[in-house]
Amino acid sequence: MLTQPMPESHVLSAMRALGNLLRASIPGSGLLWVLSDEGFPLQCKGCGEICELLRWGEVQRRRDSTFRGSSPPRIVHNSYVELDRCALETGCDTCRTLRRAFLLEQITSHGAERLGHAGNQWPIYAVLNLGSSGDSELALAVKSPKAVLYSATVHLTNDVRAVARNSRRAAPGPRPDLSALRRVVDDCHRNHECSSRYRWSHRNPTWLLRILPDNLVQLVAGPSEPVDYVVLSYSWGDPATMPAAEWARIKGAGTKTINGRPVPERLNPFSVRELPETMQDAIAISASLGVFYVWIDNVCIPKGTNWDTEASLMHEVYGNSAFTLVASSSTKATDRLLYDRLAWTQRGGACRLRDLWWLHNTPMPLDRVRLESPVSLRAWTLQEERLSPRIVYWAGQRWYWSCLERQVAELGESDWAASPADPCSRSCPQRFLELCRSGDEELLHEEWLDIVQAYTRRDLVAPRDRFLAIAGLAVRFYNAKAANGGAVVTEDYLAGLWKDNFARHLAWSVASAVEPRHNLRHIAPSWSWASLPLRVQTKTKAPFRPSAHFKFVAVRRVEAAEASYALARTETGDPSTDFINRGRAVEERGRGVKAVEVRGRFRRFISDDALNVSWDGIERKRDGRSCFDFGAFPGRSIYARNKGNGTILSKDAHCGEVVGQLDYTIPADDKPDQHPAPYVREGDEREIVCLELGELAMLLLVPDHDWGRPESYRRVGVAIGYTNRKGFFYGCETRSVNLV
């Protein structure tokens, strides 16, 4: 006998009743549901708040199908720990999606762990953002009364096909899928042209670690024939933030020498456990991927080695490697790379709500991993990345692969192939190598400026390595310009700048004036960005059109390196050796350049009759922008200085203003007897003179009387983009000056 089907309303009532029973049966979990009528996923009452946001979005779209805007925030859980418990105990699909979103935002393993720390337990707010084109997202934030501690994004879609494609992918486990990574690496080596295009030479590094069975490794001389090896790019860590014993262990991993040879303890097989954890796991990953040689700077550059020589060979070490393994998840060398990744300890895929919306996670963009990981703050790792044709980024919750032809995120969500016509059609770290190969001079100079901007914000344990940490990039740049069939090479390396586009390279600026006490004038001249303190944000890529009046004249002072420069420039008869030696010699000499002579239009920055006025007296805010009001000073020449951020303004009577940016602030303990000061003291602004670099770009200079030669000036800032005073240099004299 057939029975009539139960009405849908009765089914829902039965499910609610069952939910009440289950809720009552879970001790201490009054916050939890397990069933819902919102498309029948497992849910909790916090997810009901998200459904309210979705209802709000549906109402807006019914009123206006192109509506774009954000909902009021709603609290979906009282803390991350509560969210984590809900996802675990109830299997709530929505909470698992939200939990994973927070974890996927963490680049390091420590970041994921900190989500659960007691001091970070504040309410989780959600806001629905509706885009005009139909794209939508949930913006999540853990907010304390003072700040947003963590944020994350969950994406929404109505495209069932995309959700189905994602659901068919195998979910990762807590441990990385090294078999999938090996397929990606092998595919590049078999089917791409990365090796044939970008391998620099057939030479191996001077020393390599060979991986042996039974967790043993051995330091060996680089074989005479090319071998596959992995380079580890990692952060040593900040000695100020770790116990002294831990820092001693990291430094102690270095290879000692006796009479210039590595000690027997390294030349004989030794246990990988003698090395810090990041190195141990890098060795394990390399072996799992079928590569049995590894290069690690601290181990493979023995103490007492000529560091200058090794630094200038970095373009070979990285360019010839099978790939570079970037330890993006590590904050220091004692962090593990292989651990259970919290984002994947709970299974769960896309989640459907209200029959209309699918919630799903997306991987963090590779650019964020590159720019925000701890390793990106270490100066040495910049050239390690830019000189590597193939890179594995090892992030906190997944790995990423990048080569000239393809980028892949674990699970394949970010898989893309480069255009054959333009291998760098999307952002990729190998752009510098591609431009060196193609020889596009203008773009290559732009890329160098990008390198400078990325480099100056980074840190160095030893400031004396300021130039050494990019020596490999400089050698590669010069050789790209010199690879022209033996023609005369006009390019020259000048303390981090390049002669053929010198005016453009001089036009760098600081984002805001910096404290001067830790400047590096003992390492580089004032006109070089390398003279700035470490960890400074710079701007190098403002629009620039060179002045027809500016000319580089000559190098006037070089310290050291001249003898080795002359020797290295001597031709040996071996084209390959001569080519490499020339690049290394030019880079080595360039580090020692201290003064140059240039020629250009020249004038004073501030008129003799200018009145000094307060910055607050002329600055106004309009529509969130800064502007100026000179109504209180009709017909007067004036100047003003913002002591906070170092901006300085000069305005001649009846003319437009010029706003410059000074490099340094005035320190609180400024003493007039301290000479020479790298900054402009208060009251000395009238000493500033200007040298035209481009149509709307000038150097700000002050006389330097210590060098002992007339017409010598040191840089104190720059002015760029002064559209209100395009004729600032009209009729001015052209002079030759020495920049020191």
| Tens-digit pLDDT profile for residues 237-296 | 989 899 999 999 999 999 999 988 999 999 999 999 999 999 999 999 999 999 999 999
Query: Is residue 721 within 8 Å of residue 549, measured between CB atoms?
Result: no
168's CB contacts (< 8 A; 6+ apart) are: none
Average pLDDT for consecutive 10-residue bins of the chain (740 residues)?
A: 47 48 41 46 76 92 89 95 91 90 94 94 96 83 95 86 57 82 93 80 92 97 94 93 94 92 96 97 97 96 82 85 96 95 84 85 90 93 93 95 91 64 70 90 95 96 93 92 71 96 98 95 97 97 95 93 48 59 89 97 96 94 86 94 96 95 92 76 95 97 89 97 95 96
Is it true that the peptide bond before 676 is cis, omega within 30 degrees of 0? yes
| Residue 102 belongs to some domain of the structure | yes
Radius of gyration, CA atoms only, the chain: 30
Residue 208 within a domain: no
User: Among 284, 372, 286, which residue's Cα sits nearest to residue 323?
Assistant: 286
Res 567: pLDDT: 44
Query: Would 16 be classed as within a structural domain?
Result: yes
Q: Which H/E stretch holds residue 130?
A: strand 124-130
Q: Is residue 110 part of a domain?
A: yes
**Do 692 and 547 meet the contact criterion of CB atoms below 8 Å apart?**
yes
Residues 6 or more apart in contact with residue 690 via CB below 8 angstroms: 602, 603, 604, 605, 698, 699, 700, 701, 719, 728, 729
Question: How many residues are there in the chain?
Answer: 740
* The pLDDT value given to residue 28: 41
**Secondary structure (H, E, C), 136-153:** EEEEEEEECCCCEEEEEE
Task: Tell me if 556 is assigned to some domain.
Answer: no
Spatial contact of 724 and 657, defined as CB atoms under 8 Å apart = yes
Show which of 113, 139, 157 is a domain's final residue: 157
Helix axes 575-591 and 471-482, enclosed angle (nearest 10): 130
How many domains are contained in the chain?
2
Residue 585 placed within a domain: no
Residue 533 in any domain: the answer is no
Q: How many Å apart are CA 172 and CA 487, to the nearest integer?
A: 55
**Residue 674 neighbours by CB under 8 Å, 6+ apart:** none
Final residue in a domain of this structure, among 113, 128, 157:
157
Within 8 A by CB and 6+ apart from 620, the residues are: 626, 627, 628, 629
Domain boundary among 107, 135, 157: 157
Residue 253 belongs to some domain of the structure: no
- Asked whether 23 and 32 are in contact (CB, 8 A), the reply is yes
pLDDT at position 572 is 52
Count CA within 13 A, CB hemisphere, residue 631. Answer: 4
Secondary-structure percent of the chain, ordered helix, strand, coil, rounded to 5 = 35, 25, 45
Domain ranges, residue 88: 8-157
